[in-house]
Amino acid sequence: MSTVILAWALTVAQVMLGLSMICATFRAMIGPRAQDRVLGLDSLYVNAMLMLLVFGVQTGRTLYFEAALIIALLGFTSTLALAKFLMRGEVIE
Amino acid sequence: MILVPDLPAWAAIAVALLVLAGASITLIGSIGLLRMKTFYTRLHPPTLGSSAGTLLIVAGSLLCFSVLRTRPSVHEILIAVFVTLTTPVTFMLLGRAALYRDRIEGHDPATGAEEFPEPEDR
C-alpha cells in the first residue's frame, strides 16, 4: 500500500516539476526583455535539478545526485556570467 | 510505476509527502514567474522553488537514502547548502543589472510610480 502511494506521489511530483519547467521555458521564450529570459533560464535549471533529485529517489541510485550537483554548479556560473554580461556588455574584463 | 525503492511504510509516506510538497511549491513559484507583471515582481516567485522546494525535496531524498542504506546519508545537504547560498547572489546581481539597464534608458523604477510601462524589446 505505502509503495503504491510512494509511486504515485513520485509520478505526480515529476509531472508538477515538468509543468514548472514548461512555465520557466515559456518565460524564457516570451521575454519580454533580456533579464526576463535569464530569469526563466535560471528557474529552468533549478527545476531540472529538482527533477533529477526526484528521479534519484525513484530509482534508489545516487547516480542522479551527481548530475543534479553539476547542474546546480554550472547553472549558478552561467546565470552569474549572463548577469555580468547584461551589466557590462562583456563577461571577463 | 514499478521503479520504487523498497522502503518501510512510515518512510515511504514521509518521503511521498516531502517530495509532493516540494514539487507543489516549485510549481507555484514557476506559475508566479509566468504571471507577474513587471521584472522586479518576477524576481521573487522563482526563489520559492530554489529555497523551500529544494529544501523539501532534498529532505525527502535524504530520508529515502538514509533508510535504504541504514546509515545517515548526508551528501544531499551539499546541494541544499549550495543552492541556498548561490540563489541570493545571482538574483541580486540580476536585479542590479536590470536596474542599471532601466536607468540607462531613462526611467528609474526605484523612484517612479508602482506600475511603469514595459519598454520595447531590446
Question: How would you write A10-33 as a 3-class SS string?
Answer: HHHHHHHHHHHHHHHHHHHHHCCC
> Could you tell me the residue range of the domain that residue A50 belongs to?
2-88
What's the CATH number where A53 sits?
A: 1.10.287
Do A59 and B13 count as a contact with CB atoms less than 8 A apart? no
- Grid coordinates representing A78 are 552561467
Among A22-31, A50-59, B5-14, B48-57, where is mean pLDDT lowest?
Answer: B5-14
| Among B95, B93, B121, residue whose Cα is nearest residue B109 | B95
**Does residue B119 have a pLDDT over 60?**
no
> Could you tell me the residue range of the domain that residue B39 belongs to?
9-104
| Among B97, B85, B29, residue whose Cα is nearest residue A43 | B29
- CB-CB contact of A45 with A28 (8 Å): no
Is residue A40 included in any domain, yes or no?
Answer: yes
Residues B100-113, mean pLDDT to the nearest whole number: 74
**Does residue A46 have a pLDDT over 70?**
yes
**How many domains is chain A built from?**
1
Is residue B35 helix, strand or coil?
helix
In chain B, the percentage of residues whose pLDDT exceeds 70 is: 87
The conformation of residue B110, written as its DSSP 8-state character, comes to T
Do A16 and B23 count as a contact with CB atoms less than 8 A apart? yes
Instruction: Encode pLDDT of B65-80 as tens digits.
Output: 888 888 888 888 989 9
Distance of CA A49 to the CA centre of its chain: 5
At B114 the pLDDT is 46
Is residue A66 included in any domain, yes or no?
Answer: yes
The conformation of residue B117, written as its DSSP 8-state character, comes to P
Task: Tell me how many residue pairs between chain A and chain B have CB atoms under 8 A apart.
Answer: 195
Is residue A68 included in any domain, yes or no?
Answer: yes
Is residue A65 included in any domain, yes or no?
Answer: yes
**Does residue A93 have a pLDDT over 90?**
no
Is residue A93 included in any domain, yes or no?
Answer: no
Do A24 and B30 count as a contact with CB atoms less than 8 A apart? yes
Instruction: Encode pLDDT of B8-66 as tens digits.
Output: 888 889 999 999 999 999 999 999 998 888 888 888 999 988 899 999 999 999 998 88
